[in-house]
Amino acid sequence: MHIAYLDVETSGLLRDPEARVVEWALSVWDGDKEIFRGESLVSGKGPIPEEVSRINGITTEMTVGCPTFRELYGEWKEHLKKAIVVAHNLSFDLGMINRDLIRQGEIPLGNPGIDSLALFRRMKPDLSSYKLTELVRIMGVLHENPHRAMGDVDAMRGILTRLFEKSLSTHDEGVLRMWCGWGGTSAHRYQRDLLSWARDRDMSVMIERNFPGGLLSWGCVEGKVVSFNGESVLVDTGGNRSVLSLEDVMAVYLA
């Protein structure tokens, strides 16, 4: 599977309903080869608050004339199909991307995802901080342009490569899928965006389950979403109903 490292800079936090993506970087790998690399500032409605600009250096004026989020996604979406997405604090980055996708009338993402924050918490439980700026110092990785999207993408890939002593994208698919589950439901909250989107439109989804038959196996359930909450999702599979724990949901796609 392709590995898609990504990072977004935003005008605010997820709890701010007006916050939006103002910069996006994407680096897609197949084994040891980078097959796509893109970064762009993103134009959109609403100013970037001064307190945010002081952190990432991005001002409202810098984004004028840049691609809109919809235009950028139109160019990049083929690189995200079926890829495992990797981000530091995965639920935030994918949550912000999905918010802007929904605003633009696009289908939200439900890709399998690996949270580098969760990996480091599991692999190095004694660290005092798991901020990206601290992890690059601990792992001895160069971090050019902190708090800018591509600078953070390259730093994230660097610390993961040091952690496992080889590129994440060269690992066996079964191992990658195991790491997808390490973040738990908190890291994969963005998948609820697609569950909700499909339920509201009475559309079928395919839900990939995390290792229903053992470590190196995975399966899927296809049907319509009846309901879901913070712990489980109820799916009508055509006369039968299945309850899946959100802990076992690895990916969601439109069927």
At 247, is the pLDDT very low, low, confident or very high (cuts 50, 70, 90)?
confident
> May I ask the CATH architecture of the domain 3-189?
2-Layer Sandwich (3.30)
What's the whole-model pTM score?
A: 0.94
Contact 130, 39 (CB under 8 A): no
Domain boundaries, the chain: 3-189, 190-255
At 146, is the pLDDT very low, low, confident or very high (cuts 50, 70, 90)?
very high
Instruction: Give 34-54 pLDDT, tens digit per residue.
Output: 999 999 999 999 999 999 999
At 190, is the pLDDT very low, low, confident or very high (cuts 50, 70, 90)?
very high
At 209, is the pLDDT very low, low, confident or very high (cuts 50, 70, 90)?
confident
What is the structure's pLDDT at 212? 47
- Whether residue 174 is predicted with pLDDT greater than 90 in this model: the reply is no
- Whether residue 233 is predicted with pLDDT greater than 70 in this model: the reply is yes
Provide φ and ψ at 226, rounded to 5°.
-90, -45
Assigned fold of 190-255: SH3 type barrels. (2.30.30)
Between 100 and 81, the higher pLDDT residue: 100
Q: Lowest mean pLDDT of 3-12, 23-32, 144-153, 213-222, name the range.
A: 213-222
Average pLDDT over residues 176-198: 93
